[in-house]
Amino acid sequence: MILATGGLGLIYGQSTMSTNSTGAAAARVYQQGAKFANGEFVQFHPTAMKGHDKNRLMSEACRGEGGRIWVPSEKGDTREPREIPQEERFYFLEDWYPTYGNTVPRDVASRAIVRVTRHMGLGLNGQDVVYLDLSHHPREFLEQRLGGILEMYTTFSGEDPYTGPMKIFPATHYSMGGVLVDYAKDEQTGGMQKVHPRNHVTTIPGLYACGECDSGYHGANRLGANSLLSATFSGQIAGAAAAAYLKSLKKSAADLDEKYFESERTRQEVINQELLSPNGTENPFALHRELGEAMREHVFVERSNAGLDKALVTIKELKERSRNIHLDDQGTWNNQSLSWARQVQDMIVLAEVIAKGARLRDECRGSHYKAEFELKVPEGKFEGDPEYEEYRAEWKANNKEWMKLTVATHTEDGPRIDYKPFDASILAPEKPRDYR
Amino acid sequence: MANEIHFRIRRQDGPDARPYWEEFKMPYAPAHNVVSALMYLREHPVNAAGKKVAPVVWDSNCMEEVCGACSMLINGTPRQACATLIDDLDQPIVLEPLTKFPAVRDLLVDRCKMFNALMKVKAWIPLDHTQDVHLHAPLIGPGEQAVRYIFSRCMTCGCCMEVCPQYHQDSEFVGPAPLGQANLHNSHPTGKFFKQDRLHALMGVGGIADCGNAQNCVQVCPKDIPLTDAIAELGRRTTGQWFRDLFAR
C-alpha cells in the first residue's frame, strides 16, 4: 500500500489546507506500528488571510514580486493605511534583515510577525494582523503577475488589494514531519538507489508513504515550491519501489486467511458502533475546535516548555473526552458526523506526537522555536569577529547534540520519543543562517 | 441583516426519501461564507424551531474555489458555497442541492456522471515517459497558453451542467465542461495524437449534437471559461472529422 494522504493542518483547527488534510490516515498507520518522524517541525506560512473556516494563503509570490510587510509605527494607530505616510510605517522585515528584506524564509518572517504583534503590541487594532502591501505597484503589473491570488483576496475578503494593503498573519501550512520512511543508499554516489523496495518504505513492510505525509526531504524547514518537487519525486520513487517489492513476494493478499480481514473489519465496526452509541456527551466538532485552539495557542510559531506542558495536558483531556462522543447524527447513511468524529480521534493522537516532540526538543531549529533556548547572533558582529566565532562554536556544539531526527512510536499511554542520527556526511553545516 | 444569519435549507435523508425544508438561524459575524456558516451549524445543529437535528450534510474541500466540491444552489443560482459571502446574499438564504444529479443526502449529490463523461472524451494525455523540459519537450506558444490555461482551470464543479437545458438526469449528454476539456486536450501538442478518439466520442450519442447553444453555461461558470468558444470549434472539427471518415472507408 502506498500512502499519499497529504498534510495534517486540520489538527491546528485552522490552516491553509483543505478540509480533508487531517492526517487521519497517517495517524491510523502510526497506531498500527508505522513510526512517525519530526512531528514538531510544522511550517507556518507568514502571509495568510484570516477566516472563520480556513486561512487562505497569500502566496510567497506576493513578496517575491515586491510586496512589503508593515504595521503603523505608532501603537493603536487607527488611520486608514493610505493616510499613513511612509515615515510612519514600520517595515519591520526590511529594518531587521537588510539583505533579504521581505523575502526572508517563511520561519523567519513568521517569527518576526508574531514578535511584532504579540511582543511589541503593534498589530492592527492590537490584534494578530499585519499588512502585506502591493498597492505601490501598477495595476497592470499586478494583474499579470498575481491576478489569480489577488482575485482570491477580493473574493473572500471583499476588499481591494490593488488599492490598499492586504491583512495577513502566519498560519499552519505544511508538515515537514510525517511517517518515517527509509531508502536504499547507493554506496557509489551517496544518494538513493533509483529502484529498490526499501525506498520510501515505512516501518511496516509493504507500507510505503510519499508526498507531504512522508518525512524524508524537508528537515526542519521546507523551502518554498519544494513540496511539489518532493511529492513528484517521492511518488515516482515510491511507485517503483512498491512494484519492486511486489515482484519479490511469493504470496499475495488473496492467499491470506479470511480471518485477518474479518478481524480488522470487526475492529473497525466496533469503533463505529461505539461512536454511534447514544450514551456519549461530547460534540466532535467542539472537540476539534478546542484541539485547534490549544495547538494554535501553545504549539505555534513560538513555543515554550510551560506552554507545551499545558498543551499536553489539554490533549490528554481531549483524548479522554473523545472516547465519550455523542453524535447528533445517529444514522448510517452518509453520516459525516461519524467520519468526522473518527478523524478527530486520530487528529488528537498525532497532536500528542507533535506536542511531545516539541516539548522534548530543547533548541531552536528551522520552524521549531523556543525563546528560552535561542542562540542569539551577537548584534552587529559577523564572520571573523571573535564574538561571532564564539556564537558559531556554540551553534556547532548544539548541532552535535540536536541535529537528529525525532522518531515517535505509538504506545497506549502516548508517543515514545527516540532519536535517529542524521547523516550530514555529504554536506556538513558550517554557518548558522543569517539574513541580516 | 441585523445580528443573525437565516437559512432555509432543502434537506433529504436519503436518495429515496422525501425532501423537506428546514430553517436555521445563527449569530451574525462578518466575513462568513456559506461553508463556514454550515460549519457553525453542524456544531450547533438546532433548527429555527428550537429542535435538535442531525447536522446538514454537504461537500466541500479546498475552501478556495479551486476544487469544485461545494457546488450548490444558493438563492437559486448554482455556485461555489465557499466563495459566496453571506454579506452579499439576501436573507433568508436558500440552499438547495444541484438538481441535475442524483440526490444522496441533503446538499450532497452524486456527480459520478461528470467523471464518466470526462473518461468518455478521454480528457487526459497518455504519457509513456517523462522528459526534461530542456531536452526538446513539446512547446506551447504563449498566446496559445493564455487561452488554454483558462480551460485548464475547469474544476468539474457541475455548475454549467446545472444550468444547461439539454442536460438532465435521463439524458446522455456529456455537458459543457467535458466538451471544453475534449477541445483542450485536442489542442495539446501530445494530446492531439488522440484527437480522432475524442472527436469520435463526441460524434456519437450524448455528444456535441446535443448542445442547443443556450449559452447558459458561460454565464454561470465560476472560472469564466469560454465554453461556447470550445463548443463552436468542436462543431467545425467534428464536421471535418466526419468528412475524413467518409473518405477513409
CB contact residues (below 8 A), chain A span 323-382, against chain B = 328-331, 333-334, 336-337
Q: For A315, phi and psi rounded to 5 degrees?
A: -65, -40
Strands of the B93-96 sheet, one edge to the other: B20-27, B4-11, B93-96, B71-74, B77-80
> Going from the N-terminus, what domains does chain A have, and what CATH number goes with each?
2-41+176-249 (3.50.50.60), 61-173 (3.90.700.10), 269-374 (1.20.58.100)
pLDDT at A425 over 90: no
Q: Is-catalytic flag, A106?
A: yes
* Beta strand segments in A189-345, E: 208-209
Kindly name the residue from A28, A56, A89, A106 that is annotated as catalytic: A106
Residue A329 has its nearest CB partner, among B55, B61, B108, at B55
Taking alpha carbons only, the member of B138, B158, B157 closest to residue B148 is: B138
3-class state of residue A269 by DSSP: helix
Distance CA(A291)–CA(A262), nearest Å, equals 33
**Distance of residue A29 Cα from the nearest chain B Cα, in angstroms:** 23
Q: List, in order, residues 6 or more apart from A46 with CB less than 8 Å away.
A: A69, A106, A109, A110, A112, A113, A168, A170
Residue B33 touches chain A, beta carbons under 8 Å: yes
For range A336-360, the mean pLDDT? 98
> What pLDDT is stored for residue B240 in this prediction?
95
Residue A51 touches chain B, beta carbons under 8 Å: yes
Helix, strand, coil percentages (3-state) for chain A, rounded to 5, are 45, 15, 40
CA angle B39, B44, B46 (to 5 degrees): 120
For range A274-284, the mean pLDDT? 95
For the residues of A175-199, what is the DSSP string, one character each?
ES-EE-----B-TTTSSB-SS-TTT
> What pLDDT is stored for residue A148 in this prediction?
87
Name every chain A residue with its beta carbon within 8 A of the beta carbon of B29: 52
Q: What percent of chain A has pLDDT over 70?
A: 100
pLDDT at A299 over 60: yes
Listed range (A94-108, A227-241, A397-411, B120-134) with the worst mean pLDDT: B120-134
For range A198-215, the mean pLDDT? 97
> Going from the N-terminus, what domains does chain B have, and what CATH number goes with each?
4-109 (3.10.20.30), 112-248 (1.10.1060.10)
Distance CA(B165)–CA(A350), nearest Å, equals 49
Is there a contact between B39 and A328 if contact means CB atoms under 8 Å apart? no
**CA–CA distance from B76 to each of A250, A268, B94, B169 (Å)?**
59, 41, 7, 19
3-class state of residue A426 by DSSP: coil
pLDDT at A143 over 90: yes
**Mean pLDDT score of chain A:** 96
> What pLDDT is stored for residue A189 in this prediction?
87
Residue B55 touches chain A, beta carbons under 8 Å: yes
Select the more confidently predicted residue: B169 or A307: A307
Q: pLDDT tens string for chain B (249 positions)?
A: 468 999 999 999 999 999 999 999 999 999 999 999 999 999 999 999 999 999 999 999 999 999 999 999 999 999 999 999 999 999 999 999 999 999 999 999 999 999 999 999 999 998 777 777 778 778 889 999 999 999 999 999 999 999 999 999 999 999 999 999 999 999 999 899 999 999 999 999 999 999 999 999 999 999 999 999 999 999 999 999 999 999 986
Q: Kind and range of the H or E element at A271?
A: helix A258-276
Is there a contact between A53 and B36 if contact means CB atoms under 8 Å apart? yes
pLDDT at A416 over 90: yes
Residue A329 has its nearest CB partner, among B32, B54, B83, at B54
* Beta strand segments in B4-111, E: 4-11, 20-27, 71-74, 77-80, 93-96, 103-105, 108-109
Q: List, in order, residues 6 or more apart from A106 with CB less than 8 Å away.
A: A43, A44, A45, A46, A60, A173, A221, A222, A224, A367
Select the more confidently predicted residue: B130 or A252: A252
> What pLDDT is stored for residue A196 in this prediction?
97
Taking alpha carbons only, the member of B86, B41, B15, B25 closest to residue A337 is: B41
> What pLDDT is stored for residue B134 in this prediction?
79
> What pLDDT is stored for residue A336 in this prediction?
97
This complex has an ipTM of 0.93
Distance CA(B79)–CA(B159), nearest Å, equals 6
Residue A421 touches chain B, beta carbons under 8 Å: no
CB-defined contacts A:B, below 8 A: 74
Is there a contact between A56 and B63 if contact means CB atoms under 8 Å apart? yes
Taking alpha carbons only, the member of B146, B117, B151 closest to residue B224 is: B151
pLDDT at A64 over 80: yes
> What pLDDT is stored for residue A199 in this prediction?
97
Select the more confidently predicted residue: A292 or B132: A292
Do B32 and B85 contact (CB within 8 A), yes or no?
A: yes
Best residue of A10, A19, A59, A338 to probe chain B, by most B CBs closer than 10 Å: A19
As a whole number of Å, the CA-based R_g of chain B is 21
Do B117 and B158 contact (CB within 8 A), yes or no?
A: no
Distance CA(A109)–CA(B165), nearest Å, equals 52
